[in-house]
Amino acid sequence: MFNELYNFLIHPLLSYDFMQKAFVSLVCLCFSSPLIGVFLTLKRMSLSGDAISHAILPGAAVGFMFSGLSVAAMTIGGMVAGIVVIIMSSLFSRVSKSSEESNLAVFYLFSLALGVLIISLNGSNLDLLHFLFGSIFAVGKETILLLGLCTSVTLVLLSFISRPLILDTVDPLFLASVSKSGTWVHICFMILAVFNLVSSFQAIGTLMSVGIMIIPATSAKFWSYKLSNIIAISVIFALISSYVGLVMSFHFNVPCSPAIIISLSAIYLCSFVFGGHKGIIKRFVKGKHYEN
């Protein structure tokens, strides 16, 4: 029994170089993206994260058109595209008085269509699948370094802006009344979100990158109300699902990114039912207690 578990769970990671690179890449993602996801969900901006993840596609596609699968070119292109979409949606929302999320949805759909068109005209179906779903087993040293840099920048920057960011999340009007840093903190946070999505798309694709950012954070809120606990739990959930998805992909020859998202979704459903803070069973028991 122990040997079977070892061969299924541990042996592939210790025996294959591509598995080790994939694991290191996912660990970097798990210590970065869920942190951004926690604040996005608390700020009720989950759809914005989804929109940005699609908005980076044309920029990355232009980088691919000029430099092939160059990590640097696609990263720069994706960053530029993501920031442009954020700025344009903000400007349109101010001019038209419509919500920023509705404008962001329009821009992200346009960006997704444009990105797919550029890749289709200048690449193959394999290239398109690489952009949309990633290729975690093919990551190289450049991608690992990029993900490591993204994790380091995220942790350092969040440590500096955490207090005003929490205030901006909980009570933006109060922050605006006592400080002028709210706008700059929001801009800095959104650029950080773009950087995380651009970095993660190199490994798990644009369609799946937002999943490892949002789903762990959403699941963690069923277990605690404290911000520090939510962050820790979201990272743990991301690590567990990433490892499960990686192992399932190796043994059953299925795409890794969807396997990770399915694992995260299973964790979400378990949290929804059994969560110690907002789970259905917890609320049902509490309701029965008040009735008695």
What is the rounded CA–CA span in Å between residue 256 and residue 204? 8
* 46-89 confidence digits (pLDDT tens): 777 777 777 788 888 888 788 777 788 888 888 888 888 877 77
What do you get for the CA distance between the two ends of the chain, in Å?
A: 47
Average pLDDT over residues 11-37: 92
Q: Exposure of 165 by Cβ count < 10 A (0-12 exposed, 13-18 middle, 19+ buried)?
A: buried
Whether 10 has a pLDDT exceeding 80, the answer reads yes
The residue ranking higher by pLDDT, 63 or 96, is: 63
pLDDT in tens, 42-56: 888 777 777 777 778
Confidence of residue 290 (pLDDT cuts 50, 70, 90): low
3-state class (DSSP) for residue 180: coil
Number of domains forming the structure of the chain: 1
Residue 149 has a pLDDT of 94
- Residues near 33 by Cβ (< 8 Å), separated by ≥ 6? 196, 197, 200, 209, 212, 213, 238
Residue 266 within a domain: no
CA–CA distance, 292 with 287 (Å, rounded to integer): 9
Q: Determine, yes or no, domain membership for 284.
A: no
- d(CA 253, CA 150) in angstroms, rounded, equals 29
Q: What pLDDT was estimated at residue 114?
A: 84
Taking residues 111-135, what's their average pLDDT? Answer: 74
Residue 205 falls within a domain, yes or no?
A: yes
CA atoms within 13 A on the CB side of 88: 17
H helix and E strand count, the chain: 17, 0
The answer to the question of residue 99 being in a domain is yes
Element (H, E) at 204: helix 182-204
Give the integer Cα–Cα distance in Å for 55 and 112.
6
Measured CA to CA, the distance from residue 205 to residue 138 in angstroms comes to: 12
Q: What integer pLDDT is reported at residue 151 of this predicted model?
A: 95
- What's the whole-model pTM score? 0.88
- Residue 95: predicted pLDDT: 67
Establish if 260 belongs to a structural domain.
no
Q: Does residue 223 sit within a domain?
A: no
| Band (202; pLDDT cuts 50, 70, 90) | confident
* Residue type at 247 in one-letter notation: V
Q: Is the pLDDT of residue 251 over 60?
A: yes
CATH number at residue 67: 1.10.3470.10
- Domain of residue 105 covers 2-213
Instruction: Give 120 or 9, the one with higher predicted confidence.
Output: 9
The string over 33-46, giving b where at least 16 C-beta atoms fall within 10 Å of a residue's C-beta and e elsewhere, is: bbbbbbbbbbbebb
pLDDT for residue 286: 67
Question: Tens digit of pLDDT for each residue in 156-169?
Answer: 999 988 888 888 87
